[in-house]
Amino acid sequence: MQGEQGRLPAGFLCGLAAVPGVGRIVGCIICSMKQYQTIEQTIGGTPLVRLQRIPGQFGQERGNVILAKLEGNNPAGSVKDRAANSMISRAEQRGEIKPGDTLIEATSGNTGIALAMVAAVRGYEMILIMPDNLSLERRAAMTAYGAQLILTPANQGGMEYARDLATSMQAEGKGKVLDQFANPDNTQAHIDTTGPELWRQTDGGITHFVSAMGTTGTIMGVGSYLRSQNPAIQVVGAQPAEGASIPGIRKWPEAYQPKIYHPEQVDAFEYIGQHEAEEMARRLAAEEGIFAGISSAGALVAALRVASRVQNATIAFIICDRGDRYLSTGVFN
């Protein structure tokens, strides 16, 4: 975590310095070599910035502060770097996988890019299964990291079809499915890192946490950590309104609801229209200088609705990824 790298004293062992989430830039007392960060050690420690213009009458006039957590600053460009690193490194620590193994995942994009990056660094083969209507930039990023892509027909069930195919490939012995939808290591990433960062970055002053919901790992993990610090914190989920298509977020049919999802841990839901999310993505870039994806803008729409109802609140929301990932969709034209 940037900004927290100096927490361990210089002179730690190389081995300890390599433990994810523990080791940072420290020297080794055995070989006296300076230890540099590896790419996966730069995951997390993302900035939290205050919005200056968009909150308007719902901001300072009401004593509210709206804060954006810039997850697009992660090395593979999204909040999913945290989950991917956690799922692979923890499975490896438990001895369930080892470098050289093949990993399989059904992913709508960001998780795939993040898994491909971590797999490349740690020496795994990565097979990613995704519907064929997802943006070209995402596919290209995954292949750049060396992953193999299997594209499934979007008109035959989208992500549900992709998830079923991943499960059947695992049953045929073709690799191990990490299953971000059911994997507690997804949630744990946010209990260990994102939640504590938000708590520290607001000096414990955060009153509302708002997140778009895909696998729900982010909202479950951050919500759980923040509530453990202050049970009064409100956790708000942004979901697509009926008919809206917002990449990365879903309102899952009952049978496909993520196993890591516990609806009772979300205090309120806001349903976001596609047009208002896209419009907000353009405003985020043009008025705040934050070039972000559509689901991030959807989370901001939800945060503003919260701000319109409360006073003297510190509302933090997640910027899941960067706008570059959506250029080919034409949304910023």
Ligand X SMILES: Cc1ncc(COP(=O)(O)O)c(C=O)c1O
Query: Which range, of 50-58, 124-132, 247-255, 269-277, touches ligand X by CB under 6 A?
Result: 247-255
308 annotated to a ligand binding site: no
Report the residue number, 23 or 77, with the smaller CB distance to ligand X.
Answer: 77
- The residue range among 11-19, 31-39, 102-110, 125-133 that interacts with ligand X, by the rule CB under 6 A, is 102-110
Please identify, using beta-carbon distances, which residue of 175 and 323 lies nearer to ligand X.
323
> Which neighbouring-strand residues pair with 149?
128
Q: Inter-axis angle of helices 110-122 and 80-93, to 10 degrees?
A: 40
Among 24, 69, 80, 208, which residue interacts with ligand X (rule: CB under 6 A)?
Answer: 80
CB under 8 Å to 128, separation ≥6 — which residues? 104, 105, 106, 107, 112, 115, 116, 142, 147, 148, 149, 150
Q: Is 217 annotated as a binding residue?
A: yes
Looking at 69, 78, 80, 296, which residue is catalytic?
Answer: 80
DSSP element (H, E) containing 131: strand 125-131
Of 294, 302, 300, residue with least CA distance to 324 = 294
Residue 320 binding ligand X, by CB under 6 A? yes
Residue 95 is assigned to a ligand binding site: no
167 has binding-site annotation: no
Contact status: 109 vs ligand X (CB under 6 A)? yes
218 binds ligand X (CB under 6 A): yes
- For 113, the token pair is 């890019």
Q: What angle do CA 273, 277, 281 make, to 5 degrees?
A: 170
- Which region, judged by CB under 6 A, interacts with ligand X, from 27-35, 207-215, 225-233, 264-272? 207-215
Q: Does 217 bind ligand X (CB under 6 A)?
A: yes
216 binds ligand X, rule: CB under 6 A: yes
Q: Quick one: 23 or 221, whose CB is closer to ligand X?
A: 221
The smaller minimum CB distance to ligand X, of residues 127 and 249, is found at 249
Residue 295 assigned ligand-binding role: yes
The per-residue DSSP string of 243-303 comes to T---TT-----GGG--TT--GGG-SEEEEE-HHHHHHHHHHHHHHH---B-HHHHHHHHHH
Which residues partner with 321 through β-bridges? 78
Cα–Cα nearest to 36, from 48, 27, 46, 47: 27
Among residues 35 and 216, whose Cβ is nearest to ligand X?
Answer: 216
The closest alpha carbon to 304, from 323, 327, 279, 326, belongs to: 279
Nearest CA among 230, 75, 250 for reference residue 159: 250
Q: Report how far residue 315's alpha carbon sits from residue 312's, in angstroms, rounded to the nearest whole number.
A: 10
Active site residue 176: no
Instruction: Give me the half-sphere count of Cα atoms (radius 13 Å) on the Cβ side of residue 216.
Output: 26
Smallest separation (angstroms) from ligand X to the CB of 42: 20
Q: Is 214 annotated as a binding residue?
A: yes
Q: Is 214 in the site for ligand X (CB under 6 A)?
A: yes
DSSP 194: I
Q: Is 98 a catalytic residue?
A: no
**Under rule CB under 6 A, residue 295 binds ligand X:** yes
Question: Residues forming the annotated binding site for pyridoxal 5'-phosphate?
Answer: 110, 214-218, 295
The contact set with ligand X (CB under 6 A) reads: 80, 108-111, 212-219, 247-249, 293, 295, 320-321
Question: Residues forming the annotated binding site?
Answer: 110, 214-218, 295
Which active-site residues does the annotation give?
Answer: 80, 295
